[in-house]
Structure formats: structure tokens, C-alpha cells
A and B are shown apart, each in its own frame.
Chain A
């Protein structure tokens, strides 16, 4: 079955950096588009970033553009999110999510990793 396991969250000071990882299994990772979605405490869901299956296409929410970088290593079945110049408003649970294709929806989600900027 599909498994997505995020790691790398923690407490970080404003202006510092953090890198999140998402280990994937149970499906062909190298053929799957992937996303990061976040949820601030007590708030709704916010899409953060997209990467195509081969890494050639990347898109970002305006709120993180220029500060966050999504990447992937298909040889390791791992998705990454490099977060630089962190702000207090970036505090959230970060989920990696699988896209079934055609720029559509999120059919599987990880359990999330909490990032606290303080």
C-alpha cells in the first residue's frame, strides 16, 4: 500500500533554514507527481509546492516563492522541501501528498511533520 513518511520538522528561529523529507513506498515514485501541502495550527489546508514526476516542472504558492525549493531523488524514492528565510507564518504541519496525474487532486497523504518558527 502507498506510504508517505515525512521527517525533518522541528523548532527553528525566524530567518533560518530547514529541509523536510518525504520517504515514499508502495507505488512507482518515479512516475508520480508530488506536492507539499501545509496546515497552520487551527487553520485550513494550503497548497505549497508541486514537482512533476521527472523533476522538470516545479510550481510554488506565492506565499513561499523564492524562499522554498521542492526537489526529488527518484533513486531514493524521496521528496524534499528546502525552506529558507523562514517566517513565523510558516509555522504549520507540512504534508507530502501524491498526485494521481493530470494536475488534479491528492490521492494519498503522509502523516505530516510539524515546523515551528519561533
Chain B
């Protein structure tokens, strides 16, 4: 099955930019979606189809996808952005479709 690889943790100072990567074989040919999950809460969609933002998500959140790496970028990081972030793709396997998540990245705001 398709594998997505994320760094376990990323740290960033307030006001700086955080880049969270999601690696996968030829991931640039797939659509990547990103979720934010704060402790004790359900995940929230923050980016879909590589770079689109749902309504209510700040413009500070952006995404890109090319080659073997997709990236979630959070600009002007705030304390409230501290959370776990997961990438996800839909993989059309030969037998049936599969919705695949990366292992998650814990974003720490220093």
C-alpha cells in the first residue's frame, strides 16, 4: 500500500514560518490534503487538493506538492497553531481505493 512519511516533530518560534513535509513516491501526481488536530479534539481540514483552504482557515496556511514531497506551510506562526498535523491522499489500488494518512507531525511553538 502507499506510504506517506512525515517528520515526527517540527519546532518553530512565534512569528516565523513552519514547513511540514509529507513524502511519498511520486506524490506530486496525487492530491494531498492536510488536517490539524489539537489535543482531545477531532481533526480539522486545513488544506485540500494540495493548496486550497476551506472557509475559516487563515491565509497563513498554504500548501504545495511536487515530485516526491508535499509541504504544508504555516506563516507567522502563533501559539494556537501548536497541534499535530496529518497529510492524507486517496490511493486507487488495483483492488479497491484506500485513504492513506501520514504518521503525523507534532508542531511545537517555542
Chain B residues proximal to chain A, CB less than 8 Å: 1, 31, 33, 35, 37, 41-45, 48-49, 54, 86, 88, 90, 92, 96-104
Contacts and interface: CB of A to CB of B under 8 A. Distances in A.
Contacts of B48: 104-105, 107
Contact of A95 (B42, B45, B104): B42
B97 A50 contact: yes
12 contacts: A44-B104, A59-B97, A59-B98, A95-B42, A103-B90, A104-B31, A104-B33, A105-B45, A105-B88, A109-B43, A109-B44, A112-B42
Interface residues of A, number: 21
A13 to B, nearest CB: 27
A35 interface: yes
B5 to A, nearest CB: 12
A25 B102 CA distance: 29
A106 interface: yes
A111 B42 contact: yes
B86 A50 contact: no
Contact of B104 (A45, A61, A104, A108): A45
A47 B42 contact: no
Nearest to B34: A105
A102 to B, nearest CB: 9
Interface of A: 35, 37, 44-47, 50, 59, 61-62, 95, 103-112
Contacts of B86: 44-45
B54 A107 contact: yes
A46 B98 CA distance: 11
A46 B101 contact: yes
Given A47-B101, A104-B48, A109 B42 contact: yes
Given A44-B104, A47-B98, A106-B99, 17 more contacts: A35-B99, A45-B35, A45-B37, A45-B43, A45-B101, A50-B99, A59-B98, A103-B92, A104-B48, A105-B33, A105-B48, A105-B88, A106-B43, A107-B45, A107-B54, A111-B42, A112-B42
